[in-house]
Structure 1
Amino acid sequence: MPTGRSVLRDAIAGQRGLLAGASALGSAHQGGEALIPVIIGVVIDQAVSAGSLGSLVRWLVVLGVVFAALSFSYRFAARAAERAAEQAAHRLRLAVSERVLDPRGGAEAGRLPGALVNIATGDAKRVGAVNSVLPFAVAGLVGLLISAVLLLRISVPLGLLVLLGTPPMLVLAHLIGRPLERRSGVEQERAAHASGVAADLVSGLRVLKGIGAEAAAVARYRRTSRDSLAATLRAARAHAGHDGAILALTGIFIAVVALVGANLAASGDITIGQLVAAVGLAQFLLTPFQIFAWVGGQLAQARASATRIASVLAAPHAVLGGDGSPAEDGPGALRLRAVTHGPLTGLDLDVAPGELLGVVTIDPAVATHLLACLGRETDPESGSVELDGRPFAELDPTALRGAVLVAAHDADLFEGSLLDNVVTSGRDPERALAAAAADEVAETLPQGVHTMVAERGRSLSGGQRQRVALARALAADPPVLVVHDPTTAVDAVTEARIAGELREIRQGRTTVLVTTSPALLAVTDRVVVLDGGTVSAEGTHAELVHADEDYRTAVLS
């Protein structure tokens, strides 16, 4: 099962080739930087103090070559590290997207869509960014070791001071980074929640305006946004405190090294050039420690993000994935036996092959849970759902959904032409458009079926979106089609036309209409009423209207 540590480890291991190259080049850069003060010290001792012009020129050339090499090394180390970071982030985005789109579901449980987007983008980027800093952490360590060796050659006490003082500094840096990691996790959680709420409110803007709930929506988002801002400020303060504490520790350490070097020079143990080199190396030590502080902050944030990504990747599946496939020419018989799920309590229901069945639910929650079971979005708590005698649990979810298509009431359209939203590998789209009265929608658009539709169909009215979504379901021509309230936003005349066309186009195919529309129920072969989670009445529409008061109330009121 993925964990935050394994996600972070895999993100790094997957880019080890680029990281090795970047680390080598970065180490060359830090090694060159460490050599600069030593070369300057040599110039002072061998050229300036001795007054040798030839020696001065030679060492200046060496200095120029070192500068050119370290500049080249840094440039290409940064390129390789950034490439590793972007590739790791891209792979994580793909992994999160694949898990969210897994036909067995489950990743979306307890998470708003905007929160999942935030994890797939912001968190993936933070984890990938670790690869942009690790090579420089290696380079900083190499630079530190080179500095220690050079200081040992100048003075054993100075070298030992650096070698023995570095491990405690690294331990302290790790301990100081703990609060930053905790607060970064909270910050990212709150930011993801704010993104999810914003996406939720934007998608339901028309509904909010329709019921006059804009003020409540704004108040809710303000509270969420303020919580996110507060968490971000706390994380920023932790980040600033982390960097300040590391800088203070580093400054104290470098000051100690410089003081020891000055004392050795004053006592005559080292030359003036060696003192300059020692002071320069002490100043150089600031760079590796700044790198360590930077890397520590990035790692703290990446660990928090990796934990969030792991929570999505490790989310339990909503349904168990079988490996069977429905028969290609199966008759399309549905059977529910003792199905218990939410408000469904021991539901028994048979749908004959080729039957056009109407289902009326007194409680809307019953419809929601029934559709979830038929669409294999979830498995019932007990009981079984079967297609042509085979339990859903034995069938591959993707293959099953190709045989049993559940057309939800709130189906979304995609950005593209109207025709692109309808065309499938099934029936002729023109016939499906006519059956859903979506041909009338095309006639009102400037370019007919080739008119571009905005994302989620926002350029169309509610009734137009419903008709196009129904046409898409009919064009798929599955052996079993389950449709939920497909005509709630169309006028009565259009609804009557759709009812007649729907019966004709689905002739010989099993169809379940979960609706309270009298026009649609009138064309069904049989209607069942679900009340209290079980079948409370069944018969034709005319029979139930005449004999069942609850049915009349649900359908005709």
Structure 2
Amino acid sequence: MRFLRQQRRRVVVASVLAGCHQGGEALVPVVVGLTIDAAVATGDLPALVRWLVVLAAVFALLSFSFRWGHRAAERASALTEHRVRELVVARVLAPEGGVGGQPGELVHVATGDARRVGLLALAVPTAVSGLVGLVVAAVALFTMSAPLGALVLVSAALVVAATRYLARPLERRGEVEQERAARAAGVAADLVAGLRALKGIHAETAAARRYRAVSRESLTAAVAAARTRGVLDGAVTAMTGVFLAAVALVGGRLALAGEISVGDLVAAVGLAQFAVWPLTSLSWVAGEIALSRASKRRVLALTSAAPAVTGGTGALPADLRGEVSLAGLRVAAGEHVGVVAQDGAGLVDRLALEVPDPTLTLDGHPLHAVPLDQARAAVVVSPHQVDLFAGTPRTTVGDHPALTAVGALPDRDVAELSGGQRQRVALARALATDAPVLVLHDPTTAVDPFTEAGIAAALAALRRGRTTIVVTTSPTLLAAMDRVVFGEVTGSHADLARDNADYRAVVFA
């Protein structure tokens, strides 16, 4: 992935230092064996001092290499994860839209999957260090005895082949695990966001049952992936145990036959014990690569999703009047229009450019022909379901008359406010944009009638001279509009309420 390639300098540095570390680790039993043969067995004190200095130098090298190599690898891993997360978040927040899925699922991709992709930057130096350690150990054993060196190479080849074979089902199950975990996170996020509504309709038991079902699926997938990972790690551990016993057996026979010295035997056993870690690390690397492939596919599927809408390269004039036209809906500049629509949400999505509609124009300019951010700055849409960031109403809206227009609000974090109070904060935030065209969708459904009447009057005053479209069935808001559009019929709220039975059935239901 390109983000891993962006960290290639750190990955190369980490790989070189990790190789030096494992090479130094492999040399420790070799130096110990040489010390035994050259100094301990002969009683040569100066030789003992020299070899101890060499051993200290080896330890200094491997200690330095491990510290700085691991630091470079962890930094590369963290930066890769961060870049992937930025890519995912940028695609989710892109004005073109087109990214489906629940918020919890998207968060899981930006966290869990990004982390697994980032671990590739740590897996590469680990793989290099393991291979370097095995090569150094094999060369050292070959200098002592060809059978011992061949035994290391054969064991390494068997372990690599086994990990490649066993990693395939881990990749499949790891992808299922991430998908199920993301689904459970999505359901959990939805239930937490709608907790008040659930309590209001006494649906806590049904909600808990729904989450329990998806959580159980996630647990089953996680256990399946963990079981496969356990088989992989267990197989490698068993193979390394057999390898260690084989080296001790062959080395002991060679030492008894006089073909290798006592120091060589000590070095051979030490190298065999050391080789357990490189072999095990290769197993870990194989597992991480398999899991990262699954996560990479999920990241690519999200970031390469086709956009729902695309903007153009045109531009809107600086002096916008605010005349809106959309497939039969005509709103004059500065007019306040209420819309009673069977599919209010669909109409709002078209006005918000969430779905393409070439008939949408502003002052005669097709909005699909200008950049999306410019179009959405000119036509600000406040949907019925609005997300608010943490903070008080004042920090959310700022010092704007809109905050007073929606009625008094407590100076508490918006998370602590009631549903009606949060709806009023969202309305104030929309009004504070002072947009040329403002579209509101059912902005007062959770507000009491007295406060709603005050909001209707304030809305007419605050937005005087600027185009406002309110998609609602609230009689109070509709009465404050210049006119109301009801299907093919248009007129004042009072006239429609008096003359149109269908209108009365919808608005006063």
1:50 aligns with 2:46: no
SS of 1:329 mapped into structure 2: coil
Preserved contact between residue 390 and residue 415 of structure 2 (Cα < 8 Å): no
Distance 1:171 1:511, change over 3 A: same
Cross-structure match for 1:376: 353
The one of 420, 442, 446 equivalent to 1:463 is: 420
The one of 471, 476, 480 equivalent to 1:523 is: 480
The one of 351, 362, 365 equivalent to 1:390 is: 365
Looking at structure 1, the residues matched to 422 and 337 of structure 2 have their Cα atoms a distance apart, in angstroms, of 24
Cross-structure match for 1:546: 498
Preserved contact between residue 141 and residue 268 of structure 2 (Cα < 8 Å): yes
SS of 1:419 mapped into structure 2: helix
TM-score (norm 2): 0.95
For residue 222 of structure 1, report the CA deviation from its aligned partner.
1.0
TM-score (norm 1): 0.87
- Counterparts of 1:269-288 in structure 2, within 5 Å, are 269-288=259-278
Deviation by residue 1:49-101 (Cα, 9 ceiling, x = unmatched):
32322222221222222223222221222222112211111111111111111
Looking at structure 1, the residues matched to 336 and 292 of structure 2 have their Cα atoms a distance apart, in angstroms, of 54
Corresponding letter in the other structure for 1:99: R
The one of 215, 221, 225 equivalent to 2:211 is: 221
For residue 394 of structure 1, report the CA deviation from its aligned partner.
0.8
For residue 398 of structure 1, report the CA deviation from its aligned partner.
0.9
Corresponding letter in the other structure for 1:218: A
Deviation by residue 1:526-552 (Cα, 9 ceiling, x = unmatched):
2111xxxxx332222222112211101
Looking at structure 1, the residues matched to 402 and 277 of structure 2 have their Cα atoms a distance apart, in angstroms, of 68
Cross-structure match for 1:187: 177
Cross-structure match for 2:197: 207
Preserved contact between residue 140 and residue 291 of structure 1 (Cα < 8 Å): yes
- Counterparts of 1:13-24 in structure 2, within 5 Å, are 13-24=5-16
Corresponding letter in the other structure for 1:37: P
For residue 165 of structure 1, report the CA deviation from its aligned partner.
4.8
Looking at structure 1, the residues matched to 46 and 458 of structure 2 have their Cα atoms a distance apart, in angstroms, of 99
Preserved contact between residue 323 and residue 331 of structure 2 (Cα < 8 Å): yes
Cross-structure match for 2:330: 350
- Counterparts of 1:381-530 in structure 2, within 5 Å, are 384-423=359-398, 429-434=399-404, 436-438=405-407, 440-441=408-409, 445=410, 451-453=411-413, 457-529=414-486
Looking at structure 1, the residues matched to 64 and 476 of structure 2 have their Cα atoms a distance apart, in angstroms, of 76
Deviation by residue 1:102-161 (Cα, 9 ceiling, x = unmatched):
111122x1x111111111112212221222232121111111111122222222343344
Deviation by residue 1:156-214 (Cα, 9 ceiling, x = unmatched):
34334434553343122111111112111111111111111111101101100111111
- Counterparts of 1:58-77 in structure 2, within 5 Å, are 58-77=50-69
For residue 495 of structure 1, report the CA deviation from its aligned partner.
2.1
Cross-structure match for 1:103: 95
The one of 353, 356, 359 equivalent to 2:339 is: 359
Larger mean CA deviation between 200-209 and 221-230 belongs to 221-230
Larger mean CA deviation between 462-471 and 304-313 belongs to 462-471
Distance 1:44 1:430, change over 3 A: closer
1:536 aligns with 2:488: yes
Looking at structure 2, the residues matched to 23 and 419 of structure 1 have their Cα atoms a distance apart, in angstroms, of 52
Cross-structure match for 2:72: 80
Cross-structure match for 1:340: none
Looking at structure 2, the residues matched to 497 and 280 of structure 1 have their Cα atoms a distance apart, in angstroms, of 84
Looking at structure 2, the residues matched to 489 and 136 of structure 1 have their Cα atoms a distance apart, in angstroms, of 57
Looking at structure 2, the residues matched to 165 and 245 of structure 1 have their Cα atoms a distance apart, in angstroms, of 13
1:177 aligns with 2:177: no
The one of 112, 115, 125 equivalent to 1:135 is: 125
The unaligned stretches of length 5 or more in structure 2 are: none
CA RMSD, Structure 1 to Structure 2 (Å): 1.9
For residue 243 of structure 1, report the CA deviation from its aligned partner.
0.1
Cross-structure match for 2:111: 121
Corresponding letter in the other structure for 1:395: V
Preserved contact between residue 140 and residue 289 of structure 1 (Cα < 8 Å): yes
Preserved contact between residue 394 and residue 403 of structure 2 (Cα < 8 Å): no
For residue 452 of structure 1, report the CA deviation from its aligned partner.
4.1
SS of 1:477 mapped into structure 2: coil
1:145 aligns with 2:135: yes
Looking at structure 1, the residues matched to 235 and 406 of structure 2 have their Cα atoms a distance apart, in angstroms, of 69
SS of 1:405 mapped into structure 2: strand
SS of 1:328 mapped into structure 2: coil
Looking at structure 2, the residues matched to 495 and 42 of structure 1 have their Cα atoms a distance apart, in angstroms, of 90
For residue 376 of structure 1, report the CA deviation from its aligned partner.
0.8
Looking at structure 1, the residues matched to 311 and 250 of structure 2 have their Cα atoms a distance apart, in angstroms, of 69
Deviation by residue 1:214-249 (Cα, 9 ceiling, x = unmatched):
110011111111111111111111111110011122
SS of 2:21 mapped into structure 1: helix
SS of 2:339 mapped into structure 1: strand
Deviation by residue 1:438-475 (Cα, 9 ceiling, x = unmatched):
3x22xxx3xxxxx342xxx2322222222222222122
Deviation by residue 1:366-385 (Cα, 9 ceiling, x = unmatched):
111110110011214xx521
SS of 1:316 mapped into structure 2: coil
Corresponding letter in the other structure for 1:480: V
Aligned residues: 509
